[in-house]
A and B are shown apart, each in its own frame.
Chain A
Amino acid sequence: MTDTAAQTRERKEKLEDILVVDCDVHVHESPKELIPYCEMPWRVALENIKDVQEFYLDIPGFSPGTTAYEAKFPSGQEGTRMVHSPEQMREELDGIHVDIGVLFPDHFLKMPVISQIDYAAALARAYNAWLLDRWCDVDRGLLGCILACPQDPEDAAREIRRYAKEPGMVGVFLPCAGLERLWGHRQYDPIYDAAQEADLPVLLHSVTVIHPVFPFNTHGFETEFGRHICSHTFSMMANLVHMITTGVPVRYPDLRVAVTEAGISWVPFLMHKMDKEYVERRREVPFLEDKPSTYLKKMYFATQPVEEPENPADLVTMMNLYEGEDNTIFASDWPHHDFDHPAKVHQVPFTNEVRRKVFGENALRLFNIDASGNRLNL
């Protein structure tokens, strides 16, 4: 059980003195940027859309968007922050006290909604090559995740093996927005095989889309407020339930799994709901050797968008409910609209020991890297 700082009465360590590993920051990929990295004939399609107007995570033929459905009132809070270069990223992460940033895409959060399988796979290959070439830089503390294209799992596995020994690649990104078959489906076994073999963790990340598949069939909401909650949190719950009920954590015991951009308060809920089902339905999930929460607690959960209860100590309580001291990881989601400044998580009355774990030490274990970002498994 984690104590709160009030119980231990120790002097709180300053944010500047703590190693901060940020498990979710976003690079801005565009059709134009990827053209040189994309194979024919798909390069022609990218050239054809390179000058179309871009909305937030919304480019026709690249990242089908949700901006078309509603009245667009002017707002001071439109998603216009983008990071275009590693130099800009380093400078901005310095500004929020982040030492190491783990890179995810902007538009390709929506990779699963691309309907052409070969196009999706080609975009994923182009992105991975571009990311490694332009962005990944251990000395700058910028580390990449290999995008695994769910439409073509065999190709995704090849991509993981291609980059398995790259010092700048530290994980595998499993996109969730609009995902047709949830990440527990056996069709993805080649991805898990390759990730486990490479000792690279897989990280689930969703985003808002309106799409027929659960939980993205959100056309019933009249607001982004509603869609945004479901698109992230429900997607994570659905994918983790599916992964656990198809035995992924048992069949791949050395595979490390992390969840981003869903906050943490749902973790105790899911843990208890699964354990309750397990009592009467164990025979449906005969892979499992223990109650489902055993496996859930081995996964890693990123803080952002961190819940902001009136009593910040409630976050310590929520973490205690899933024994989250060793598997909660900090993420800012920079530069997106709902990013968390590390100062917000720094306010949580953790003990210094737990604060250091959440801000950095747990992530070092997840990615199997040292405090300078060097992979320890090469």
Chain B
Amino acid sequence: MTQGEKRREAHVVGDASDFPEGSHRVVTVGRRQIGVFNIGGKLYGLPNVCPHQTGPLCEGRPPLGTLVSRAENGWRFEWVHDGEIAVCPWHGLEYHVPTGRCLAYPSINLRRYEVVVESGKVKVLV
């Protein structure tokens, strides 16, 4: 554990029932806006700011899948990451929510906020 992680504080952002499976919503922690996604029962937190033009990347439609094409599959299109791809509503940059990875730019990886449930309360660690 790094020193930075030791300093993290848990901020209550709602009840577990506010974040049902398949939902996504933006919460405010201090001056940060954080998108909380419930994908398959697991909670993920991403910043609500797209590095491209600062769009509200967590305020788009519910996460969908996307298309990829790989040599090992003969370059055929494949539908992957179903329900795990958040798309910035401004210009469409795609992000894989569980990893924070931007599909268009390998150099962009979003900060991931750990989100936990304790005693029925959802907490974001910042």
**Residues of chain A whose beta carbon lies under 8 Å from any beta carbon of chain B:** 73-77, 337-341, 343-344
Contact = CB atoms under 8 A, between A and B. Distances in A.
Nearest to B93: A77
A327 B60 CA distance: 36
B1 interface: no
Contacts of A340: 53
Interface residues of B, number: 18
Given A75-B64, A76-B61, A341 B53 contact: yes
Contact of A73 (B54, B67, B89, B91): B67
Contact of B91 (A74, A77, A343): A77
* Residue among A75, A338, A339 with max Cβ neighbours from chain B (10 Å): A75
Nearest to B92: A77
A343 B89 contact: no
Contacts of B90: 339, 341
Is chain B's binding surface mostly helix, strand, loop or mixed? loop
Interface of B: 53-55, 60-61, 63-64, 67, 79, 85-92, 94
Contact of B87 (A75, A338, A339, A344): A75
B67 to A, nearest CB: 7
B92 A75 contact: yes
Nearest to B91: A338
Contacts of B88: 76-77
Given A74-B64, A77-B92, A343 B86 contact: no
A338 B94 CA distance: 15
Contacts of A73: 67, 79
* Residue among A74, A75, A76, A77 with max Cβ neighbours from chain B (10 Å): A76
B64 A77 contact: no
A343 B52 CA distance: 11
B80 to A, nearest CB: 12
Given A337-B91, A338-B91, A76 B86 contact: yes
Contacts of B79: 73
Contact of A77 (B53, B54, B87): B87
Given A75-B64, A76-B88, A344-B53, 7 more contacts: A75-B87, A76-B60, A76-B85, A77-B88, A339-B90, A341-B54, A341-B90
Contacts of A77: 60, 87-89, 91-92
A338 B90 CA distance: 8
A4 to B, nearest CB: 21
15 contacts: A74-B64, A75-B64, A75-B87, A76-B61, A76-B64, A76-B85, A77-B60, A77-B87, A77-B88, A77-B89, A338-B91, A340-B53, A341-B53, A341-B55, A343-B53
Contacts of B87: 75-77
B76 to A, nearest CB: 13
Nearest to B67: A73
A185 to B, nearest CB: 36
In the A-B complex, the 6 residue pairs with the closest CB atoms: A76-B87, A77-B92, A76-B61, A76-B60, A341-B53, A74-B64
Given A75-B87, A76-B89, A76-B92, A343 B54 contact: yes
Contacts of B86: 76
Nearest to A306: B53
B29 to A, nearest CB: 23
A287 B2 CA distance: 72
A73 B91 CA distance: 17
Contacts of B91: 77, 337-339
A200 B79 CA distance: 50
Contacts of A344: 53
* Residue among A77, A340, A343 with max Cβ neighbours from chain B (10 Å): A77
Nearest to B57: A76
Contact of A337 (B63, B85, B92): B92
Contacts of B63: 76
Nearest to A341: B53
Contacts of B64: 74-76
A77 B67 CA distance: 14
Contacts of A339: 90-91
B89 to A, nearest CB: 6
Contacts of B92: 75-77, 337
